[in-house]
Structure 1
Amino acid sequence: MENKDVKTAQLNRMHSGKGFIAALDQSGGSTPKALAQYGVQESSYANEEEMYTLVHEMRTRIIKSPAFDSQYILGAILFENTMDRKIDGQWTADYLWEKKNIVPFLKVDKGLADLNNGVQIMKPISNLDDLLTRAVARNVFGTKMRSVIKEANPVGIREVVEQQFAVGLQIFEKGLIPIIEPEVDIYSSDKEKSEEILKEEIKKQLSLLDKDVKVMLKLSIPTVNDFYKELMSDPHVVRVVALSGGYGQDEANQKLAENHGLIASFSRALSEGLSANQSDADFNTKIGQTINEIYEASIT
């Protein structure tokens, strides 16, 4: 397939395919937690390199599982270190697309700035241009970057959305599709109010885009069901996906199913119950069950 044809196939899959996105992008800060949840304690590795090797083994096991199948999974979000490693001799992004028909994304943010105006914007992404160039060379389709909204502060929320779209435009201009992720904290006392402000700010930014610009949105599951329906029909929006945001698997799926057209992009809820000590049969059964449940909640 020509590169242009691949991009078109991937775009069509992300826009109208049935399924969800697997978020396999825990980064440096959250990797020890992800490994501990998987049953690999900090005493198992002596340094960062060993830690990343172990987490790559975990992600490889997930990706190679027969249950990790394009019938259910449309795309997968990778951490930079995962993009730069191989599975069975192929770069991870190539393995995902060529062997699994799953669209590869890359997490590009460098974490969150301190809380200000009730929000955490992204820290500056110093090497973004270089990282995007490498992502293009590695055949990545799109990117993901996260900010967090803790309070219904109009100034802060506007700042989050403006930053996300400004960086998103830079990403789009490099030939990648950005996933814009302004997460509303699910424990926020004024979550619903934050979502109202957020939706208006997103609509404002979408209306300013040139007509060929495409983005994806990754949002917390809204308090009011189907609240993001009109964003889904915006011509600039390839897909609206939901994060699990700290809900357990069952609750996340239940809430997701009540929002029509919203699909999952879960990380914690995806790896819940998986363990390094499981036999392959048990591991594959467990992840298969999880994938099936998230898929069912995503196709409502």
Structure 2
Amino acid sequence: MALSAKSAAARSAAAPRGAASRARTVRVAALSTEKSNPYMEELRATANYIATRGKGILASDESNATTGKRLATVGVDNTEDNRRAWRELLYTAPGLGQYISGAIMFDETLFQSTAGGVQFVDVLKKQGILPGIKVDTGLEVIPGTDGETSTQGLDGLGERCARYYKQGARFAKWRAVLKVGSSTTAILENAHGLARYAQIAQANGLVPIVEPEVTLGPGTYTIEENAYWSEKINSHVMRLLNEYGVVLDAILLKPNMCLPGLDAPTASPADVAKYTVRTMLRSIPPAVPGIHFLSGGMSEEESTLNLQALQEACPNSPWSLTFSYGRALQSSTLKTWAGKKENADKAQDILVQLARANSQAQLGKYKGPHPVPGGGRILQALRTGGPGK
């Protein structure tokens, strides 16, 4: 009995040392990865540049199918030339680089040129806007769940990232779609995908934008419930990023703001800011340079007012609380353009005004009036594979 007890005690004492040894091995491996990555200083510089206070990201990474659906709303056919013309209008808007530090592009767009033959990546860089690229390949339903999805695209991702870097991209984006009440299966599956993607992107010179979107959906769930699930999901994602040795000061985060369900009363900007800031403080390490919120179906004015409220709620934020907006920058721009050359100047002016308003809001200096006042939620189902950004 004495020998047995002694053996048990020995095993018990050895267990913590074994755990500590494994933890040390993980830390050493992560440090080795960081030190051996030849892009690391560039990655940090890129992340900090994109997170510059007073600037945000133009999300223009819609797939060809989704872009076609949006063009159809203004009577424009979904052809490669029309898609190119639409992106050219966005990227060549005079003065856009004063307010936008990065533009997320789709695969086709990254390799396109203007009608005059200038590559889009060069057009953006001349404006001081860094080119980025969407690298996921869409959503797939997870078997055994209630329609929950995981994001695809890890196969061949390293080769694609290397090709995108060579073309001039300097950051990437991978979107995971979750919901209030997500299952553990969906949370862990998507956290793994985001972490593995971020690991591969950094290894190939691209700053990963990590996008765990708790998508705005139907129902009467409260803003408090959204905040609970956003915090839970963000915490799992951050844990997996650490497990995979992702360097946090060389990433950017693209989460949702905390909003109530579509069938619940709209929350005030002050409440959105209160719960969103609390969620970020509880779940996101200060090492992350920028938190670039998606517009998530909010109207153009709502997106700006909520962004302004975030600065008021957290004036000494450790991160740049800023924006990565798609439809909140594009919707009225597209309606104004409608595929007509004579409308191009007006459309570009609207885009720059919207970017300026959000730039001012990021600095906590927005006073209005808004270039596109009022408006309801921008919730048309115009993205394949799930709700839009």
Q: TM-score, normalised by structure 1?
A: 0.85
More displaced, 162-171 or 247-256?
247-256
Give the distance between the partners of 2:106 and 2:346, measured in 1 at CA. 26
Indicate the SS of the match to 2:174: strand
RMSD, matched Cα? 2.5
Q: Map residues 204-223 of structure 1 onto 2, 5 A cutoff.
A: 204-208=239-243, 210=245, 212=247, 214-223=250-259
Q: Does 1:180 align with 2:210?
A: yes
User: Greater shift after overlay, 216-225 or 7-16?
Assistant: 7-16
Which structure: larger Rg? 2
- Cα drift, residue 232 of structure 1: 5.5
Q: Are 2:345 and 1:281 aligned? A: yes
Question: 2:173 is aligned with what amino acid?
Answer: K
CA distance in 1, matches of 2:187, 2:67: 28
For 2:168, the equivalent position in structure 1 comes to 139
2:179 corresponds to: 150
Report the Cα distance in structure 2 between the residues aligned to 1:34 and 1:216, rounded to whole angstroms. Answer: 27
Q: CA deviation at 1:291?
A: 1.4
Name the SS of the counterpart of 2:151 in structure 1.
coil
Give the gaps of 5 or more residues in structure 2. Answer: 1-38, 260-274, 312-319, 365-389
Partner residue in 2 for 1:32: 68
Alignment equivalent of 2:50, drawn from 5, 14, 39:
14
Name the counterpart of 2:13.
none
Select which of 327, 345, 363 maps to 1:299: 363
Q: Is 1:62 aligned to 2:98, yes or no?
A: no
- The 8 Å contact of residues 106 and 142 in structure 1, kept in 2 or not, is answered as yes
Structure 1 stretches lacking a partner, 5+ long: 46-50
Alignment-derived partner of residue 298 in structure 2: 247
Deviation at 1:220, TM superposition (A): 0.7
Report the AA paired with residue 228 of structure 1. M
Amino acid at match of 1:219: P
Structure 1 letter corresponding to 2:56: F
SS in 2 for 1:228: helix
- Pair 1:108 & 2:172 matched: no
Q: Is the 8 A contact 1:183 1:220 kept in 2?
A: yes
Structure showing the higher strand proportion among its residues:
1
Structure-2 separation of matches of 1:168 and 1:199: 15
Q: Given residue 217 of structure 2, which amino acid in structure 1 is its aligned partner?
A: Y
Measured at CA, do residues 103 and 72 of structure 1 come closer, stay the same or move farther in structure 2, by a change above 3 Å? Answer: same
Aligned partner of 1:259: which letter? L
Quote the residue 1:48 is aligned against. none
Deviation at 1:222, TM superposition (A): 2.3
Distance 1:134 1:146 in 2: 20
What's the offset of the Cα at 1:105? Answer: 0.5
CA contact (8 A) 2:256 2:293 kept: yes
- In the aligned structure 1, how far is the partner of 2:57 from the partner of 2:110? 16
TM-score (norm 2): 0.67
SS of aligned partner of 1:263: strand
Cα distance, 1:8 vs structure 2: 6.3
Counterpart code for 1:234 = P
Q: Is 1:185–1:191's contact at 8 Å kept on the other side of the alignment?
A: no
Looking at structure 1, the residues matched to 44 and 327 of structure 2 have their Cα atoms a distance apart, in angstroms, of: 30
Give the secondary structure class of the aligned counterpart of 1:258: helix
Q: How many residues are treated as equivalent by the alignment? A: 287
CA distance in 2, matches of 1:26, 1:123: 16
SS of match in other structure, 2:205? coil
Q: Deviations 1:44-76 (Å, cap 9, x if unpaired)? A: 35xxxxx222111111011111142x2211110
Contact 1:67 1:291 in 2 (8 A): no
Q: CA offset at residue 233 of structure 1?
A: 4.6
Amino acid of the residue matched to residue 132 of structure 2? F
Matching residue of 1:264: 323
Q: CA deviation at 1:294?
A: 2.0
Could you tell me whether the CA contact under 8 Å between 1:220 and 1:244 is conserved in 2? Answer: yes
